[in-house]
Chain A
């Protein structure tokens, strides 16, 4: 593969940073960088995915533009991560989804919505959608159980497979072979779930400008844990339905509803906050071209949460049928898009953190 302009720029920037090293206290990227004298494409891919885009090193850089050296680590690494996402997409054909990711996410969401609405309209008896169903298995009167779980499970499994294959490819391409112990995996996961590196060495990130703040880290936490809570709600619900034979909808004070509600609120708050930060931030250290992808995923998560909560509120009214179809349409889009949206940063970042844990354990010895 011919070397891209972005890769060349990343190499140039890392060579400047490696001669400077003033930023070594900010995050895991710089100590990892200092282990090398020359940077292979794999090294650079690894470093780019290790970067949490906190921008501390941009505002601290005496070589940032308009200095002729024009060092802009966060921007360069954002663009390189985008290349990672394309290079490791599976199936390969779908790498193109990253080219105009904002548009792709929007179109897929619209298509999924339309599909679910059409199918429900077609599959169920006339009048079903506008009927106020209540009581156990009300949802499945609107959308048959097999259709709902079948489609959801199939898309989710496919997406997880795609993410897995992407992860393996990324791992191989970005340096592969360090021996990884169990402790390294745990430490990498710990760094991932705590966002240890999103804090400029403990004093906060440059969320919007030169000033430090913890807002981005907090919003990301709220969002990510909201996402996990929603996922947990889904799993518990599935368990209750399959194993205990208790189909949805569940009462207000049941586990799935509590998790789902809290998670949904977390997603709403986190995604709104992150979106606000994105849109008001100093544009120089950001990669303008990727704004669409960033905003699209946030918007999709926001929609998933909002439609879910609205469904909860109006589930015993005549609107339930339509609301359920809309919510499921969004969820379907989310499942489909997991491997073809900004979401892929999560597995790649986690893998990079695990490798970093393994490498730094080596360094200490």
Chain B
């Protein structure tokens, strides 16, 4: 049979597209590489979506208008965005929550959380897996055919249109035909071999925070067929996470928020960056890269008892010791070197009024690199250490799309029957940096557009 719409992927972007296309009357098949238990890509690890609103709406408090949203985006991307697409996404995010609710997603009144996002972000009750479950249930109810354990290996793209889609489905080759195709297969961050092309052997020490199924097979295939690329292929969003995290799928719990209250040293027990440069939400995302650039892609946050309770608890126990030398031993660092680093740091700490919640005046003097806030002496046992590694969230490389989500060839012409949504095209709008909840906003907005356009094309 020839399907009206074939959707590649099983995350937020794919599900939004599949549901929308099916509701428009198309016959829809959704191909998910993961088995059912691990369906939902990185989307299963998410927690919230950033939505514009001109008045309090549902769980969203106060006002978060287009101008402010755009400013926030401009700031984090440093201009690496497409204003037209970005503003369109921002405006369309306003009715995302209502659509999501209508398709079974429940929101939670914003409670505590680490970041205070109740104004800008709507939190999913139960998190991303609950959202993914709701969407799969909605898709099944509507009659979307879902194939798990089905990896798309390549698209037969020729003469400006996708002719067939080749897959391996539960171990067997399977070729499908469809009038319209939506590519929503995420980034390539789980493909260590591909990351190695830019990062060399360092990539072997990266930990992938989300799904192991983000291999970028479809992305690479499309670029190989002459599709236009966006986003810096060498860049990825990376944060410092606990080095004890599993290689894949460790998700949110491996996050470590202790850096601003610590000193961070590398393998040689030397400091290398100002840990107190800014409030954590603003510096959260630079530490992945910083650690990735150190020897062995590993670093260690060192704290003392005073700081033990200043940050969200993390999933792995803190490594504790009665003295700095003992701690160094437990972390595999040279005790003398760590003692020197700590005593030098302690000697340079100036007195100030410590305030964990604000940019306080506790800083070092005459230290290189300095620690410009929250600098307090590390002198109260038990001393605490956490090992850090780069945790890759997603990659920026993607395919170029129009505002109707249609995929463009390098020659500037659209592929007649191919649309893209989610991480695979996020680089059009988010070329750099990150804004909490924006990934899901892009996937939802473009997923719905892609689904509608794909269904319309199939109907013609």
Contacts and interface: CB of A to CB of B under 8 A. Distances in A.
A172 B239 CA distance: 43
Nearest to B242: A19
Interface residues of A, number: 30
B443 to A, nearest CB: 17
B309 interface: yes
Contacts of B125: 25-26, 60, 200-201, 203
A76 to B, nearest CB: 16
A57 B112 CA distance: 18
Nearest to B246: A68
B137 A210 contact: yes
B306 to A, nearest CB: 15
A59 B133 contact: yes
Contact of B314 (A19, A23, A31, A202): A19
Nearest to A68: B246
B373 interface: no
A96 B137 CA distance: 44
B126 A19 contact: no
Interface string B299-336: 00000000001001111010000000000000000000
B124 to A, nearest CB: 8
Interface string B154-189: 000000000000000000000000000000000000
Contact of A62 (B45, B109, B315, B317): B45
Interface residues of B, number: 34
B376 interface: no
A200 B124 CA distance: 13
A21 B126 contact: no
A211 B137 contact: yes
Secondary structure class of chain A's binding surface, majority of residues: loop
A4 B374 CA distance: 41
Max count, chain B CB within 10 A of own CB: residue among A19, A31, A61, A63: A19
Max count, chain B CB within 10 A of own CB: residue among A15, A24, A31, A202: A24
B30 to A, nearest CB: 17
A92 interface: no
Contacts of B111: 24-25, 31
Interface in A42-100: 56-57, 59-63, 66-68
Contact of B133 (A24, A31, A60, A63): A60
A24 B108 contact: yes
Given A62-B251, A68-B246, A210-B137, 17 more contacts: A19-B315, A20-B315, A21-B113, A22-B47, A22-B127, A22-B128, A24-B111, A25-B123, A25-B126, A26-B126, A56-B126, A60-B127, A62-B127, A202-B106, A203-B106, A203-B125, A211-B137
